[in-house]
């Protein structure tokens, strides 16, 4: 232990405050060194003469403890090392649990992962009642399981049902919900936290019982008993397998560990937990998830302290279609005033109606308070035409994808808005550089490309035109960050990054249909790889007309290497555009989706136009045709350096296309398979299905040289 201490002890009238305050960090995170210090501090505080109780609290404004050190997790790839690290944490927390005087955790702000495990080990747990306070065990989202006794202590504390819910979803609880779930013993207003924690600690020292004991789990505790528990756990396992198709091992391990928590052998569960951590850390999928998490944080910090958007800003959103309304809503949610304008009063009204409906839905689901939602909606100022926009401090253009219309909008925005206002466009197919030509100061124009559905897709492409100035680009990154998105800076090029890589993949899925493969087989093949949604489902959601437009705008790029599916065109002609028109590739029946009954006839028509019938496609080809095209296109796009860093490239693909996070990203996946193997398979497909499968030069070079996209990691 060197350097400034991460833990300090303050003794005051019989109670020792053990304060966690990791130096040179904005958040308290637990590393081995910090755990050692904590261990010593608790021991010495307990041994201090006159100390009757200990309060464990965070010394930072930012909160109690954000969990274990993610960098530490990322560096550990060895099973035994991982097991030992977890076991060490368990020992430290075990000593806190059994300390000679009672320890009470006083939690404010985030208390996550290892931080919550630490708090759970204390004999009392009290949290401040404020919006910042969040408690949860998000380890599963990183591909691991809580490793410092969390699976055992939480399960025994709140029962099998609640524990499954919290650990499998990684959900965070507010102080109030944590109280009613029985996770915390008591909540108290922020400025009384210290005083009340102290009182509680002395209460326990005086032989008092735990608060909130009655509430813990409630009647659901019946489920903890033998047969019922097996039933609940089996159901959970089935649900997880159905949702994740077995590509993520961590949730399944977590379910086993929750089961162990109720067995008489108290130590067995802890041992199993440490072993599970070790085993999971050996797997690539875990490290991919950890990397993606770290990339996400890094991308969100890319703009540094550049101000993005906040209260006091007026965001002008031009165009109230589905995307415009959703983007407006993203601003409103952050308390930003929004001026939403459209040329048509009717589409404006529809946009506002959609925003209000989405907000009402959020209120119904308890995601946001009724009052808060009302205030956010008050910030919405709809208007027809570009009137009264002079107060806007930034603009996002989301109008129809026509260059002349956009040019006109930008000219008028430039006239009306203050010079300091950046002008963003959400175009998906028109080069930013060309749009920027319509104004005298093209530096102000940057692409800010959101994905549908905006409230669920984390990625925003920040597209840099040739003349975009750096300050505006930084501002765009900061705006995306403030809207809670993950910004990735992308070079201006047809389709930018995501749509370009998606296009051949989606087209190939349609071609598989035309070749006679059943829709469910196509989607299932991709979902088995780890895609959260099959490509046909994606097309149906986005709309076949929209996908058609994108494909059309990308046509020059794919000249000579396009499969050119016809089915999309046939469906659009019939007005079967997908989910939005009630029928497309699928038909919605209640909550279920079935292949559209007219699809076979439409496919016949498509085959007739192409002049080719069905062919026999091997199951392996159903998987490889779309997927390898995506990999090949990724290699091409990276060769053009649309994104500079391969890690950012991979992250963008995961957050923007739903590329399987368990594989880490397309470049990562090529590295794993080996470029040579990928090239070989592409050549096979090319021989059978046409030149669109021919690998690009860069990929061929890499196959020859063996040079990976990602710099090689130290051998594990």
Catalytic residues: 428, 449, 461, 499
Q: Which residues contact 493 (CB under 8 A, 6 or more apart)?
A: 431, 500, 637, 640, 642
Q: Nearest approach, Cβ of 352 to other proteins (angstroms)?
A: 4
Q: Nearest approach, Cβ of 348 to other proteins (angstroms)?
A: 9
Q: What is the Cα–Cα distance from 230 to 160, expressed in whole angstroms?
A: 10
Among 337, 461, 624, 669, binds other proteins (CB under 8 A): 337
Q: What is the Cα–Cα distance from 375 to 334, expressed in whole angstroms?
A: 11
Return the SS3 of 15: strand
Q: How far are the Cα atoms of 339, 349, 352 from residue 346, in angstroms, in the given order?
A: 16, 5, 10
- Residue 388 engages other proteins in binding (rule: CB under 8 A): yes
Q: Are 602 and 609 in contact (CB under 8 A)?
A: no
- Residue 533 engages other proteins in binding (rule: CB under 8 A): no
Q: What is the Cα–Cα distance from 217 to 224, expressed in whole angstroms?
A: 10
> Of 522, 520, 514, which Cα lies nearest the Cα of 625?
522
Return the SS3 of 449: strand
- The rounded Cα 271 to chain-centroid distance in angstroms is 31
Q: Nearest approach, Cβ of 356 to other proteins (angstroms)?
A: 5
Instruction: Give the residue with the Cβ less far from other proteins, 55 or 320.
Output: 320
- Residue 378 engages other proteins in binding (rule: CB under 8 A): yes
Q: What is the Cα–Cα distance from 272 to 294, expressed in whole angstroms?
A: 27
- The rounded Cα 348 to chain-centroid distance in angstroms is 30
Instruction: Give the residue with the Cβ less far from other proteins, 382 or 563.
Output: 382
Q: Nearest approach, Cβ of 319 to other proteins (angstroms)?
A: 17
Q: Which stretch binds other proteins (CB under 8 A): 269-277, 356-364, 470-478, 696-704?
A: 356-364
Contacts to other proteins from residues 44-73, by CB under 8 A: none
DSSP letter string, 499-566 = HHHHHHHHHHHHHHHHTT--HHHHHHHHHHHT-SS-HHHHHHHH-HHHHHHHHHHHTTTTTTS----S
Instruction: Give the residue with the Cβ less far from other proteins, 369 or 484.
Output: 369
Instruction: Give the residue with the Cβ less far from other proteins, 195 or 378.
Output: 378
- Residue 377 engages other proteins in binding (rule: CB under 8 A): yes
Instruction: Give the residue with the Cβ less far from other proteins, 266 or 370.
Output: 370
> Of 144, 132, 131, which Cα lies nearest the Cα of 86?
144
Q: What is the Cα–Cα distance from 515 to 217, expressed in whole angstroms?
A: 54
Q: Which stretch binds other proteins (CB under 8 A): 120-128, 327-335, 346-354, 404-412?
A: 346-354
Instruction: Give the residue with the Cβ less far from other proteins, 378 or 600.
Output: 378
Q: Are 183 and 158 in contact (CB under 8 A)?
A: yes
Q: Which residues contact 495 (CB under 8 A, 6 or more apart)?
A: 428, 429, 503, 550, 553, 554, 557
Q: Which stretch binds other proteins (CB under 8 A): 232-240, 373-381, 474-482, 701-709?
A: 373-381
For residue 453, is the peptide bond before it cis, meaning its omega torsion is within 30 degrees of 0?
A: yes
- Residue 362 engages other proteins in binding (rule: CB under 8 A): no
Among 5, 9, 74, 356, binds other proteins (CB under 8 A): 356
Q: Are 168 and 68 in contact (CB under 8 A)?
A: no
Among 189, 234, 360, 594, binds other proteins (CB under 8 A): 360
Length of the chain: 716
Instruction: Give the residue with the Cβ less far from other proteins, 391 or 467.
Output: 391
- Residue 357 engages other proteins in binding (rule: CB under 8 A): yes
Instruction: Give the residue with the Cβ less far from other proteins, 390 or 555.
Output: 390
Cα atoms found within 13 Å of the Cα of residue 636, Cβ hemisphere only: 25
Q: Are 655 and 457 in contact (CB under 8 A)?
A: yes
Instruction: Give the residue with the Cβ less far from other proteins, 116 or 355.
Output: 355
Instruction: Give the residue with the Cβ less far from other proteins, 143 or 321.
Output: 321
Q: In what order do the strands lie in the sheet with 134-136?
A: 110-112, 134-136, 172-174
Token couple for 580: 């939005």
The C-alpha angle with vertex 22 and arms to 18 and 27, in degrees rounded to 5, equals 110
Q: What is the Cα–Cα distance from 548 to 564, expressed in whole angstroms?
A: 11
- Residue 412 engages other proteins in binding (rule: CB under 8 A): no
Q: Nearest approach, Cβ of 388 to other proteins (angstroms)?
A: 4
- Residue 467 engages other proteins in binding (rule: CB under 8 A): no
Q: Which residues contact 387 (CB under 8 A, 6 or more apart)?
A: 341
Contacts to other proteins from residues 483-502, by CB under 8 A: none
Q: Which stretch binds other proteins (CB under 8 A): 36-44, 85-93, 372-380, 692-700?
A: 372-380
Q: Are 109 and 58 in contact (CB under 8 A)?
A: yes
- Residue 382 engages other proteins in binding (rule: CB under 8 A): yes
Instruction: Give the residue with the Cβ less far from other proteins, 352 or 622.
Output: 352
- Residue 321 engages other proteins in binding (rule: CB under 8 A): no
How many binding residues for other proteins (CB under 8 A)?
20
Q: Nearest approach, Cβ of 569 to other proteins (angstroms)?
A: 34
Phi-psi region of 586 (alpha: psi -120 to 50; beta: other; left: phi over 0): beta
Q: Nearest approach, Cβ of 378 to other proteins (angstroms)?
A: 4
At which residue do the structure tokens 């109690």 appear? 64
- Residue 349 engages other proteins in binding (rule: CB under 8 A): yes
Q: Nearest approach, Cβ of 362 to other proteins (angstroms)?
A: 13
Token couple for 559: 């000249």
- Residue 387 engages other proteins in binding (rule: CB under 8 A): yes
SS3 of the chain: helix, strand, coil, percent, to 5:
55, 15, 35
Q: What is the Cα–Cα distance from 154 to 173, expressed in whole angstroms?
A: 13
Instruction: Give the residue with the Cβ less far from other proteins, 185 or 337.
Output: 337
Among 379, 495, 534, 658, binds other proteins (CB under 8 A): 379
Token couple for 369: 């308070």
- Residue 390 engages other proteins in binding (rule: CB under 8 A): yes
Phi/psi at 470 (5° precision): -65, -35
Phi-psi region of 13 (alpha: psi -120 to 50; beta: other; left: phi over 0): left
- Residue 137 engages other proteins in binding (rule: CB under 8 A): no
Token couple for 330: 């993203």
- Residue 335 engages other proteins in binding (rule: CB under 8 A): no
Among 84, 177, 294, 381, binds other proteins (CB under 8 A): 381
Instruction: Give the residue with the Cβ less far from other proteins, 387 or 415.
Output: 387
Among 345, 520, 620, 677, binds other proteins (CB under 8 A): 345
Q: Which stretch binds other proteins (CB under 8 A): 214-222, 265-273, 353-361, 646-654?
A: 353-361
Among 10, 12, 297, 353, binds other proteins (CB under 8 A): 353
Q: Nearest approach, Cβ of 322 to other proteins (angstroms)?
A: 15
- Residue 341 engages other proteins in binding (rule: CB under 8 A): no
Q: Nearest approach, Cβ of 363 to other proteins (angstroms)?
A: 10
- Residue 383 engages other proteins in binding (rule: CB under 8 A): yes
Q: Nearest approach, Cβ of 370 to other proteins (angstroms)?
A: 10
- Residue 315 engages other proteins in binding (rule: CB under 8 A): no
Q: Which stretch binds other proteins (CB under 8 A): 125-133, 276-284, 388-396, 617-625?
A: 388-396
- List residues binding other proteins (CB under 8 A): 337, 345, 349, 352-353, 355-357, 360, 375, 377-379, 381-383, 387-388, 390-391
């Amino acid at each position: 232990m060197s350097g400034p201490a991460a833990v300090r002890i303050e003794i005051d009238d019989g109670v020792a405050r053990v304060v966690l305050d990791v130096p040179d960090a904005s958040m308290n995170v637990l590393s081995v060194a910090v755990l050692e210090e904590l261990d010593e501090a608790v021991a010495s505080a307990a041994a201090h003469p006159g100390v009757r109780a200990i309060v464990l609290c965070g010394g930072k404004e930012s909160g109690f403890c954000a969990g274990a050190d993610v960098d530490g997790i990322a560096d550990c790839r060895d099973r035994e090392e991982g097991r030992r690290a977890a076991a060490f944490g368990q020992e430290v927390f075990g000593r806190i649990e059994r300390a000679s005087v009672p320890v009470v955790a006083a939690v404010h702000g985030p208390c996550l992962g290892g931080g919550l495990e630490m708090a759970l080990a204390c004999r009392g747990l009290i949290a401040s009642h404020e919006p910042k306070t969040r408690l949860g065990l998000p380890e599963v989202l990183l591909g691991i399981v809580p490793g410092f006794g969390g699976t055992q202590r939480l399960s025994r504390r709140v029962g099998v049902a609640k524990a499954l819910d919290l650990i499998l979803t990684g959900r965070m609880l507010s102080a109030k919900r944590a109280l009613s779930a029985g996770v915390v013993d008591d909540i108290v207003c922020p400025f009384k936290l210290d005083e009340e924690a102290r009182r509680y600690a002395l209460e326990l020292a005086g032989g008092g019982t735990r608060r909130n004991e009655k509430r813990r789990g409630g009647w659901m505790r019946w489920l903890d008993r033998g047969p019922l528990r097996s039933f609940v756990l089996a159901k959970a396992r089935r649900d997880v397998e159905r949702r994740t198709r077995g590509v993520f091992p961590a949730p399944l391990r977590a379910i086993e560990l929750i089961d162990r928590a109720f067995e008489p052998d108290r130590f067995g569960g802890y041992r199993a937990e440490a072993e599970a951590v070790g085993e999971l850390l050996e797997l690539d999928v875990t490290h991919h998830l950890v990397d993606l998490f770290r990339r996400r944080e890094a991308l969100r910090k890319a703009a540094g302290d550049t101000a993005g958007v906040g209260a006091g800003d007026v965001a002008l959103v031009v165009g109230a279609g589905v995307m415009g309304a959703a983007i407006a809503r993203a601003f409103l949610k952050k308390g930003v005033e929004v001026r939403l304008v459209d040329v048509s009063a009717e589409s404006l009204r529809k946009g506002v109606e959609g925003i209000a409906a989405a907000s009402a839905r959020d209120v119904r689901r308890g995601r946001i308070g009724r009052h808060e939602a009302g205030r956010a909606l008050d910030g919405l100022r709809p208007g027809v035409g570009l009137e009264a926009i002079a107060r806007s401090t930034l603009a996002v253009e989301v109008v129809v994808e026509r260059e002349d219309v956009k040019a006109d909008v930008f000219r008028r925005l430039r006239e009306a808005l203050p010079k300091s206002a950046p002008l963003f466009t959400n175009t998906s197919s028109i080069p930013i550089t060309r749009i920027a030509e319509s104004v005298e100061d093209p530096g102000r124009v940057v692409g800010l490309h959101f994905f549908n559905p905006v409230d669920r897709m984390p990625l925003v492409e920040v597209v840099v035109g040739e003349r975009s100035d750096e300050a505006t680009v930084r501002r765009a990154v900061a705006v995306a960050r403030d809207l809670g998105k993950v910004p990735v800076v992308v070079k201006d090029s047809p389709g930018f990054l995501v749509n370009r890589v998606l296009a051949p993949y989606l087209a190939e899925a349609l071609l598989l249909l035309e070749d006679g493969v059943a829709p469910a087989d196509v989607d299932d093949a991709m979902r088995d790889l780890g895609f959260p949604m099959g490509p046909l489902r994606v097309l149906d959601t986005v709309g076949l007309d929209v996908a058609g437009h994108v494909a059309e705008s990308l046509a020059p790029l794919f000249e000579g290497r396009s499969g050119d599916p016809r089915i999309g065109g046939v469906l659009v002609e019939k007005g079967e555009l997908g989910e939005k028109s009630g029928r497309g590739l699928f038909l919605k029946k209640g909550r279920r989706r079935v292949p559209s009954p007219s699809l076979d006839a439409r496919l016949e028509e498509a085959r007739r136009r192409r002049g080719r019938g069905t062919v026999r496609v091997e199951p392996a080809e159903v998987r490889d045709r779309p997927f390898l095209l995506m990999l090949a296109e990724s290699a091409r796009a990276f060769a053009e350096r649309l994104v500079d860093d391969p890690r950012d490239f991979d992250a963008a693909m995961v957050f923007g296309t739903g590329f399987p996070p368990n594989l880490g990203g397309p470049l990562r996946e090529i590295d794993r398979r080996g470029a040579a193997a990928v090239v070989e398979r592409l050549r096979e497909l090319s021989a059978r299905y046409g030149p669109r499968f021919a690998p690009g030069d860069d990929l061929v070079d890499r196959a020859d040289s063996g040079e990976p996209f990602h710099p090689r990691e130290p051998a594990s």
